[in-house]
A = this chain, B = another copy of it.
């Protein structure tokens, strides 16, 4: 999932994301809650309509942002107090409130509020976070189920009044095939009625296997529609991350999506699929792009480097993206050096293509029983 923090994947139009084959976006509850505000997004018909994006959206719970802006936040049993990074105003996010905000946004997958601790943390701190995350997950689930049953699609613009507890994957996918494109109204009639969102729980536990097991078992009792592995890729060694991801994935049901949050490099995608992960989100392709770091079949390229000033080759000769079909390294370097928007636009488009293509190839290799081969091929890459 490309990350669309404030309801936009920085520098990309929604049409470009569709052309890249992006199937699902992540948006940040914390940012949208603060600006423009979830009530405004609900009033204009939900995030899909607001963004002009008919395909699935996952919203995080807001917890990670609150944690990562630590000095601005305070965790209590009830929830999290935090100060807005925009204007310093005080806000409170409880497990119930996080679900409420995400329902207002109208995402397809919503996340239970969790407490993510930094690396390294004491066993006691991690254990406390695991227990709190478990209690919050229960409260999120009960609140989510308490929202009743009925119709609350995008078309109503009103409050959600119905959640079926088991939206099927095919329902969620339906919105993807809906034609939207270039119509005369900014309020597309074809924007589909959204099915009830799926609620995912988040496993915590740092790099402690026992705590990971305790966290996972607590969540499994609550029976979520999908499970995320949180609290990784926060500074622990890579080998540790792989091992804990694998250990945790094995604790989770095979027939529910397993989502590794905030990961990772193109290699991580393959390594972690090999370890049982199904879904990822990461700012790496987009943030690196804006900083002039592009992913290629030959490894990372720091395109601002002087040696590319007259390099007429594309970012990656082996790449089939629209950027590599048209622009040279020389031009893209010039744009980035000159601070022109198009520099970030083109590197973002290329990097997202690289990531989406990586996942496409992973799916293809799985489908044709060739994943092991693909895996070893990627390992041999520069």
Asked if A341 is an interface residue, CB under 8 A from chain B, the answer is yes
Specify which of A15, A180, A341 lies most central, judged by the most chain B CB atoms within 10 Å of its CB. Answer: A341
| Assembly CA distance A310 to B45 (angstroms) | 10
Q: Is A184 an interface residue (CB 8 A)?
A: yes
* Neighbouring B residues of A7 by C-beta, 8 Å: 331, 334-335
Measured in the bound complex, the distance between the Cα atoms of B187 and A328 in whole Å is 7
Q: Is A183 a contact partner of B36 (Cβ separation < 8 A)?
A: no
In the assembled complex, A147 has its CB within 8 A of some CB on chain B: no
In the complex, the answer to whether A13 meets B310 with C-beta atoms within 8 Å is no
Q: How far apart are A58's CB and chain B's nearest CB, in angstroms?
A: 19
A10–B342 CB distance below 8 A = yes
Residues of B within 8 A of A274 (CB): none
A13 CB contacts on chain B under 8 angstroms: 342, 345-346, 349
Q: Are B10 and A309 in contact (CB under 8 A)?
A: no
A342 to B342: give the CA distance in the assembly, Å: 11
Distance A52 CA – B328 CA, assembled complex (angstroms): 8
Smallest beta-carbon distance A134→chain B, Å:
34
Copies of chain A in the complex: 2
Judged by a CB distance under 8 angstroms, whether A44 is at the interface is: yes
A186-B342 in contact (CB<8A): no
Q: Give the interface SS of chain A, mostly helix, strand, loop or mixed.
A: loop
Q: Enumerate chain B residues within 8 angstroms of A325, measured Cβ to Cβ.
A: 181-186
Among residues of B, the one whose C-beta sits closest to the C-beta of A330 is B44
Residue pair A326, B14 in contact (C-beta under 8 Å): yes
**Residue tally, chain A, CB below 8 Å to B:** 55
A contact residues vs B (CB 8 Å cutoff):
6-8, 10-15, 35-36, 40, 43-45, 49-52, 180-188, 309-310, 312-314, 320, 322, 324-331, 333-335, 337-338, 340-342, 344-346, 349
Question: Lowest 8 A-B CB distances belong to which pairs?
Answer: A186-B314, A182-B325, A52-B326, A186-B328, A8-B342, A36-B334, A11-B341, A183-B325
Contact A327 B40 (CB under 8 A): no
A313 and B36 form a contact (CB under 8 A):
no
CA distance A352 to B158 in the complex (A): 36
A50 to B184, CA, bound (A): 35
Structural contact, A45 and B8, CB atoms closer than 8 A: no
**Complex Cα spacing A99 to B37, Å:** 54
Q: A310 to chain B: closest CB distance in Å? A: 5
Chain B residues whose CB sits within 8 angstroms of the CB of A6 once the complex forms: 334-335, 338, 340
Q: How far is the CB of A9 from chain B (nearest CB, A)?
A: 8
Residues of B within 8 A of A10 (CB): 340-342
14 residue pairs of the A-B complex, CB under 8 angstroms, read A8-B341, A10-B340, A10-B342, A12-B342, A13-B346, A14-B326, A35-B334, A36-B309, A36-B334, A49-B328, A182-B326, A184-B320, A186-B314, A186-B326
Give CA–CA (A334, B33) in the complex, Å. Answer: 12
Please, which residues of chain B bring their CB within 8 A of the CB of A14? Answer: 326
In the bound complex, how far is the Cα of B7 from the Cα of A328, in angstroms? Answer: 13
B331 touches A50 (CB 8 A): yes
The smallest beta-carbon distance between A149 and chain B, in angstroms, is 28
Residue of B nearest to A16 (CB): B13
